Structure formats: structure tokens, C-alpha cells
């Protein structure tokens, strides 16, 4: 018993040490990586509550984005961004400085996200590694762009879905209603959430114990439930208006695919799959400006900074090689896994990763706050199958990559395209 307690205490100290390191890295990310204008897009509706702001006619003036749903009419944050995030930020601003509120809400969102990920998926003792995974931590902490509400509901959905099917009929209906309401808020906050539902379906199904003989029936019946949960959101989209026209008709021409084509979205997806730098570098190296349309690969690493760029190339190569080695092992295990349920779960999760890249491409995704959801699925596989790569050095590897990506981005002087 004494030996067991001693081992438990050592493990806890180890986890606390890694958490302390993660906190330092994430604080450096917040304090020293500059902000991108999109980071504060959720402040637009709040700012427009002050009459002097209506004098602003730069880029997105007030009164441009009025959303109407029946008798309800309100100011949105952007063309496809609602007001949910603004309402949450408004609560924080009552208590702290508006700039601090942004990061305080981000820190709380990251914690709530991590708890949801832990409860929904079998992360064993690996949950603390979430805080080192830059493709997820950066969009939540720094580059909000209305991703926080969506990502919280995204990771809590599998847990709530599983809980519903373990409960009595009344409780089951109540929980599923709660999930549907969460999706509605997520879609109001940012309509992009619609593109995430196919991938989320497969992630959710991967957490359920499905009898091998009834898999097709289960997939079909749970698919119908997912569709039913989406109906309130669909009703909201169909009967909402922007500028006097249907909200859906208003959104379609604003899809970046309409102007940039699919090739650029595919290039962006590949870039965000392999490069951790693609998430924070956007804040120090704008690749777009008035009349400027630079290639997406310029966001792969901090270019044009001498030694920093050379070292970034080496770090990026290490991340790609390490990730490739790990996922080759994962794919092999999926092929040769003898336990049918584990194999099926892994196939569903890999399918979710693919869908969370494919559907955002169809939706014109172009930034880290669009591809963070695919990396959530990658992170689930990484943490649940971590021992396939390295039992002893996984913390060191992830912490090193996190530190190097953040540190090299900090060393990059901001360059803005005019």
C-alpha cells in the first residue's frame, strides 16, 4: 500500500511539473506573440453598443451585419459570425479589463475543452499533454475568431451523447435537447460548425460500444438522431435574414471557394495538417493585403528571418517526420489489431480526421481556427495511442515542439503586407 501511494505521488508530481512547463509556454504565447485583428472579432457587436463607434466606416462598420430571426433583430460580429461569443465576452468585461477578458475567457475555454476531451475519450493519464499541442492551444487561447463556443460543444458532444443512452427516457431526451441547443448556439456563433458535424458524428460513434453484428443499424439509427438534433439549427438558418435576404443566400457568395477556388483551400488544408507554425505565424506574417494574394506556403514557417527561418525549417521537418512515424504505426495497428472493437474505433477516428479536413475545404477554410477541429481528432488518436510511439519521451517530444514553435514565432519580427 505504501509503495502504491508513493508511486501515485511521484506520478502526480511528474504531471504537475509538465503542467507548470505548459503554463509557462502558453503564457509566453499570450504575452509575446502579437495579435491578429481577427483575434478580437468577437468584440465587434460589443463595440457597436457605443454610439461613437458608428462613426467608423473602416472595413466592417457598425450596422453592416444585422441578423433578423422572426421578431428578433441584432448586430452580428461579422457576415457569418453571430453574437454568442460577444455575449460571453460581455460578462467577462464587467469584471476585468477588455483586453484581459479575451485571454481569461480563452484560458477558461481551454480548461473546459480539456475536461470535455478527457471525459469523452479514453485519454488515460495523458490528458496533461493537451496543453502542449499548439494547433489546439493557440486557436483557443490566442486566435479566438469565435472558435471557443464551437470547440467546447464539439468535445462535450460525445460524452453527453453516451450519457444520454445510459439514462432513463426523460433524462435521455433532456440531455439530447441540451446537445441540440449547444449546436444551435455554436452555429449562431459561427455557421462554420455545420461543416464539422459529419466528422463529429464519427468521433461520437467511436466512443460507443457497438455490437459487431449491429454496426450498420447503429450507424443508421444514430445518424437519424444526429440529423434530428440538427433540425433546430437548420430551422434557424432557413428562417434567418441578413440585409433583407435569406441568411443562406447571403452566406453562399461569401464562401472563399467562390473567389479563390478549391485548389487554395486544399493547399491550406495540407499546410495546416503538417505545419504547427501555420497557426501562430499568421499573426506575424500577413499573407494577404489590399490587392495582394501571396501563396499559402509562405505561412508554413517564419520566412525571411535568417537563422530563425533555417531553424524553423529543421523544426518543421522534425514535426513532420515524428508525426509520420507515429501515424504509420497507428495505421499498421488498425490493420493488424485483433480486438475488433478497438480496430473499429480507430477506423472511425481516422475517418473523422479525414472528414474534418474535407468538409472545411468545401466550406472555404483558410486559417488555423478552421482546421483546429481536425487537430482535435488527431490529438485524440495521439493521446489514446501515445504508447505506440514512446512511453518515456512523449512528454519531452511534445513539450520541445511546443516550446520551439512558440519561441521561434516570438523571434519573428512582424511583417505586414500593405
**Tell me, what's the pLDDT at 2?**
40
Residues in the chain predicted with pLDDT less than 70, given as ranges, are 1-11, 145, 212-213, 256-261, 283-298, 303-304, 337-341, 387-392, 414-418
Residue 207 lies inside a defined structural domain of this protein: yes
Paired residues of 232 in beta bridges: none
Domain range for 43 is 2-410
DSSP state of 245: E
Residue 120 lies inside a defined structural domain of this protein: yes
Residue 418 lies inside a defined structural domain of this protein: no
**Between the CA of residue 238 and those of 78, 105, 157, 270, 413, what are the distances in Å?**
18, 31, 24, 33, 45
- Using DSSP's 3-state secondary structure scheme, residue 289 falls into strand
**Tell me, what's the pLDDT at 5?**
40
Paired residues of 292 in beta bridges: 289
Which pTM was predicted? 0.91
Q: How many folded domains does the chain comprise?
A: 1
- Sole residue written with cell 431526451: 173
CA proximity to 403, closest of 318, 289, 303 = 318
Residue 8 lies inside a defined structural domain of this protein: yes
- Cβ neighbourhood burial of 337 (10 Å; 0-12, 13-18, 19+): middle
Instruction: Please give the Cα distance from 330 to 196 (Å, whole number).
Output: 23
**Between the CA of residue 203 and those of 3, 75, 147, 215, 345, what are the distances in Å?**
38, 34, 18, 15, 9
Residue 68 lies inside a defined structural domain of this protein: yes
**Tell me, what's the pLDDT at 85?**
92
* Strand 240-242 to 72-75 pairing: unpaired
Residue 206 lies inside a defined structural domain of this protein: yes
Residue 118 lies inside a defined structural domain of this protein: yes
**Between the CA of residue 155 and those of 177, 207, 260, 369, 379, what are the distances in Å?**
17, 12, 31, 15, 12
**Between the CA of residue 42 and those of 57, 87, 238, 305, 319, what are the distances in Å?**
18, 9, 24, 32, 32
- Sole residue written with cell 480526421: 353
Amino acid at each position: 500500500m505504501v509503495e502504491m501511494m508513493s508511486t501515485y505521488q511521484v506520478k502526480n508530481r511528474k504531471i504537475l511539473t509538465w503542467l507548470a512547463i505548459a503554463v509557462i509556454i502558453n503564457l509566453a504565447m499570450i504575452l509575446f506573440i502579437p495579435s491578429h485583428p481577427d483575434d478580437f472579432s468577437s468584440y465587434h457587436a460589443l463595440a457597436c453598443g457605443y454610439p461613437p463607434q458608428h462613426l467608423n466606416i473602416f472595413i466592417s462598420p457598425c450596422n453592416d451585419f444585422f441578423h433578423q430571426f422572426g421578431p428578433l433583430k441584432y448586430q452580428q460580429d461579422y457576415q457569418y459570425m453571430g453574437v454568442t461569443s460577444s455575449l460571453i465576452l460581455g460578462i467577462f468585461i464587467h469584471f476585468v479589463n477588455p483586453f484581459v477578458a479575451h485571454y481569461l475567457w480563452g484560458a477558461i475555454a481551454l480548461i473546459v475543452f480539456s475536461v470535455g476531451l478527457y471525459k469523452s475519450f479514453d485519454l488515460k493519464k495523458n490528458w496533461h499533454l493537451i496543453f502542449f499541442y499548439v494547433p489546439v492551444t493557440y486557436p483557443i487561447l490566442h486566435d479566438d475568431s469565435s472558435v471557443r463556443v464551437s470547440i467546447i460543444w464539439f468535445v462535450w458532444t460525445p460524452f453527453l451523447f453516451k450519457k444520454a443512452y445510459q439514462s432513463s427516457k426523460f433524462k435521455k431526451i433532456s440531455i439530447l435537447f441540451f446537445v441540440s441547443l449547444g449546436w444551435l448556439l455554436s452555429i449562431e456563433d459561427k455557421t462554420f460548425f455545420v461543416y464539422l458535424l459529419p466528422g463529429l458524428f464519427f468521433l461520437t460513434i467511436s466512443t460507443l460500444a457497438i455490437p459487431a453484428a449491429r454496426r450498420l443499424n447503429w450507424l443508421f439509427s444514430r445518424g437519424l438522431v444526429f440529423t434530428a438534433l440538427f433540425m433546430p439549427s437548420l430551422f434557424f438558418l432557413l428562417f434567418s435574414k441578413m440585409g433583407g435576404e435569406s441568411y443562406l443566400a447571403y452566406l453562399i457568395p461569401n464562401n472563399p471557394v467562390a473567389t479563390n477556388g478549391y485548389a487554395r483551400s486544399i493547399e491550406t488544408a495540407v499546410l495546416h495538417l503538417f505545419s504547427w507554425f501555420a497557426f501562430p505565424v499568421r499573426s506575424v506574417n500577413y499573407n494577404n493585403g489590399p490587392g495582394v494574394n501571396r501563396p499559402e506556403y509562405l505561412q508554413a514557417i517564419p520566412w525571411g528571418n535568417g537563422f530563425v527561418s533555417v531553424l524553423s525549417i529543421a523544426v518543421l521537418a522534425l514535426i513532420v517526420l515524428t508525426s509520420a512515424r507515429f501515424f504509420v504505426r497507428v495505421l499498421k495497428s488498425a490493420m493488424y489489431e485483433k480486438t475488433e472493437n478497438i480496430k473499429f474505433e480507430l477506423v472511425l477516428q481516422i475517418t473523422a480526421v479525414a472528414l474534418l479536413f474535407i468538409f472545411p475545404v468545401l466550406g472555404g477554410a483558410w486559417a488555423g481556427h478552421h482546421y483546429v477541429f481536425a487537430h482535435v481528432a488527431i490529438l485524440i488518436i495521439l493521446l489514446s495511442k501515445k504508447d505506440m510511439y514512446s512511453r518515456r519521451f512523449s512528454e519531452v517530444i511534445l513539450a520541445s515542439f511546443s516550446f520551439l514553435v512558440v519561441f521561434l514565432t516570438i523571434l519573428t519580427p512582424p511583417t505586414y503586407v500593405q
